[in-house]
């Protein structure tokens, strides 16, 4: 049987418990403006993983207007408090995130950086329990050594868009972004320092455990 991926995505999103009105507003904005948020099923998995490892220090690279941040902030709040670093290089998106995350009651947990994300990570004192990566795909390979340095042993890295709409296995696609995703996948799945699996929810999340 051939899987209908749009139906699968809707089915998986439908399994996620009802979200607060503000989070639903953020989902509606993404839909209306074609903004690439991780969406409910991936967001819920991020929240679940952060709860499972009791994460209290989380660094996000490429935070947009704070949708993925909201899922991590919920986990950190329920884990007893801590910090989630929100990083985006666009001041307007950072302002939007401040509004949404305040409305959700997470202001005290978030540290905002308007900056290039890998540079911000380099400049921020670690170690972190969890690092989430959703920057421009061409930046993925160079981000790995910085993430590896800043994540604690036993910490988790999550990185989005690792299926890239199926372009990763289309050998005719040699665009810079696709090649960068392949390179990153090769790096993380062959490194002796990580245990990594690609989870095919939405556009594919690699979840990696740092040994
Ligand atoms: C794909 S969107 C994801 C948003 C967010 N993770 C979510 O799911 O709600 C990535 C965002 O990060 C920004 N971005 C991409 N590369 C970046 C970088 N190297 N440094 C800082 N921001 C970056 C983009 O402009 C965009 O706003």
Pairwise CA distance, residues 130 & 152, whole Å: 8
Closest CA to 197 of 171, 140, 170, 159: 159
Q: How many helices (H) and strands (E) does the chain have?
A: 8, 7
Q: How far is CA 107 from the centre of its chain?
A: 19
Burial of 94-131, coded b for 16+ CB within 10 Å and e otherwise, reads bebbbebbebbebeebbebbeebbbebbeebebebbbb
Specify which residues 112 forms β-bridges with: 86
Nearest CA to ligand 1 atom 4: 64
Record the pTM: 0.98
Give, for all 211 residues of the chain, the pLDDT tens digit. 888 989 999 999 999 999 999 999 999 999 999 999 999 999 999 999 999 999 999 999 999 999 999 999 999 999 999 999 999 999 999 999 999 999 999 999 999 999 999 999 999 999 999 999 999 999 999 999 999 999 999 999 999 999 999 999 999 999 999 999 999 999 999 999 999 999 999 999 999 999 9
Ligand 1 pocket list (CB less than 6 A): 36-38, 62-64, 67-68, 87-90, 93, 116-117, 134-136, 139
């Amino acid at each position: 049987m051939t899987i209908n991926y749009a139906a699968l995505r809707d089915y998986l999103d439908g399994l996620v418990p009802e979200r607060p009105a503000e989070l639903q507003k953020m989902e509606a904005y993404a839909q209306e403006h074609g903004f690439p948020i991780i969406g409910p099923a991936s967001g819920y998995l991020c929240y679940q993983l952060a709860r499972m490892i009791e994460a209290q220090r989380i660094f996000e690279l490429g935070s947009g207007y704070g949708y993925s941040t909201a899922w991590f902030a919920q986990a950190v709040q329920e884990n007893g408090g801590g910090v989630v670093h929100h990083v985006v290089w666009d001041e307007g998106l950072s302002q939007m995130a401040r509004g949404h995350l305040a409305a959700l009651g997470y202001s005290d947990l978030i540290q905002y950086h308007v900056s290039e994300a890998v540079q911000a990570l380099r400049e921020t004192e670690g170690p972190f329990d969890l690092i989430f990566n959703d920057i421009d795909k061409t930046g993925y390979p160079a981000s790995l050594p910085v993430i590896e340095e800043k994540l604690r042993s036993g910490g988790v890295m999550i990185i989005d868009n690792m299926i890239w709409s199926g372009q990763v296995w289309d050998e005719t696609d040699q665009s810079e972004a696709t090649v960068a995703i392949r390179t990153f996948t090769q790096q993380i799945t062959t490194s002796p320092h990580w245990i990594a699996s690609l989870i095919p929810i939405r556009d594919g999340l690699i979840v990696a455990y740092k040994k």
